[in-house]
Structure 1
Amino acid sequence: MTVHPVEQQRAQQEIDQVIGSDRLPTFADRSSLPYVEALYREVLRWRPIAPLSVAHATDVDDVYKGYYIPKGSMVFANVWAISRDETKYPEPEEFRPERFFNEDGSLNDDAIGYVFGFGRRICPGQHMADLVVWLMITSVLAMFNISKDKDEDGNVIEVDASIDSFTDSYTSHSLPFKCAIAPRSQLAETLVRDTADVALQKLNA
């Protein structure tokens, strides 16, 4: 969101209209927040956490689209290439939540489940991850503004969001960067602190 302030603001406007500012989002709000859903999907597509998914191995000789794959071959599903298919995702390096909407404004059926893998090696925590990551993103958007930070002289610190600013490994995540995170209001800060206190009490009970 540091480099996508317009998308952040639009998501926050939707959250404010649907939920208001006096409570945190819940799973029950998901179907009423289509733009937030589209933004969530675009986050997963734009920078998939496992660009090559999980390794598979053939237990028999196989042929796929004319390619002979011997038994015992290591096979990877190239999630990065799928997420960069320009016939499905025009200008794939652009961050565009709108790509997940139909012409009538409804969400399309591209739930980008491929980011969780395939077959027997699919992420066993897929459904939990889907719920938790969606709720985390929505809660942060509801309670905080994320923006570029400033140095000691008051100059804006630019953020590199190119692929070079992410790790190149089995799992991908951003390299360290500076940003400013601030509560959207005094009420938001109070809600977050009170919720954290309740959670700690339950954990320590």
Structure 2
Amino acid sequence: MHKRSPDFCLIETMRLERTGQVLRLALHLQRLRRSAQQLGFSYEHKAILQALSPSMQRRYHSAQRLRLSLAYNGAISIQQAPLPPTATPVLLRLSPFSAQPQPLLLRHKTDARHHWHTGEQFLAQHPNYFDVIYYDQHGYLTEGTRTNIYLWTNGQWVTPPATQDLLAGVQRQYLINKGWVQEQPIHYQQLLPSSRLRVSNALRGWLDATLY
């Protein structure tokens, strides 16, 4: 009996600067390669660079959103669109219930996003909000539908550890590598109206945020 191939693609959503530079490209490809190896996807590094090359050889009037999709058989597709600016601080909503998706779908960036359907539906209906933040069954924050979350506490920025079944974002990893952020469990009850918060993703960077 043949093993059924996954019905989803691995994806990387990247920021393409006006100069044609893909921000944090090495970290994006490291994560993609790691996920491909763990899930049995075909990964050809040279083919991926060739697929990205046309977008990287141009110059633009504004930053671009560049999405790379990798199918199980190694097929690559690229989508590109202008990236609108983001006003800060961005507005966050704490999910009214804990998230309990399959860990497999949390630790890898894929286009199988049904586990975030409720949050994405809320954001579509409330465009003033930037993201919905989730917590696990014990009340500890995990991540948002599109960002990682950070809290300023005891003189440092902290973010939930990757062991809490979350997607380790590329921007998050960059901040950790720089020593600007430490991993630490954050309970949702630690979030107060006066809390200093930030969120991040590879597209938008590290953004000041307000919970409402």
**TM-score band (shorter)?**
under 0.3
TM-score (norm 1): 0.26
Higher share in strand = 2
Higher share in helix = 1
Question: Which one has the largest radius of gyration?
Answer: 1
Q: Which has the higher contact order (CA 8 A, sep 6+)?
A: 1
